Amino acid sequence: MDFKQFYNQNIIEPDIYFKFVCFYNAKTELYDRTLTDMRGPHDNTEAYIVGQNRVYSNCFAKRLYDWTVNYIRFYTNQSFSKERWNRSQKSFHYSAQGWIDMFNYLKKENDKIIIDIVKSWEEKYEISEKAVL
């Protein structure tokens, strides 16, 4: 797959926050898909969450966000930068599926940071990657 052509933009800056945001967005979207078969009205790859499932989705997203923030601190040996997180979130206008595709691309390319993130998440929560992804 030609990365640049597939995403129709310049190759991403080598910012570690982008990879953490990518992991976070892919994981939350894939989790949401386990909660419902309904899809968003404007993006048929986006899970549409209603009712009690919204509580589950929000709890998972909050737990994953908190873990990610702490892991960024550990991994970079620096304090968490909300500005860098937000910039990475807003700079790339991927669809729900786009974040998943990017995550899978980085994982397939054996990106060290992505592999480390996934391994640490699985060790912490004892979740098989296949069960969530």
pLDDT for position 71: 95
Residue found under tokens 């601190």: 73
What does the pLDDT read at residue 112?
93
- CA 85/CA 83 separation, integer angstroms: 5
Sign of CA dihedral 22, 24, 30, 35: negative
Query: For residue 133, what pLDDT is reported?
Result: 46
- At a CB cut-off of 8 Å and minimum separation 6, what does 74 contact? none
pLDDT band at 129 (very low <50, low <70, confident <90, very high): very low
Whole-structure pTM value: 0.78
| Structural domain spans, the chain | 15-132
pLDDT 10s digits, 74-116: 998 999 999 999 999 888 888 889 999 999 999 999 999 999 9
Band of pLDDT at residue 20, cut at 50, 70 and 90: very high
d(CA 33, CA 120): 23
User: How high is the pLDDT of residue 131?
Assistant: 52
- Distance, C-alpha 43 to centroid of its chain: 17
Range list of H helices, the chain: 3-7, 16-35, 52-76, 82-91, 96-108, 112-125, 129-132
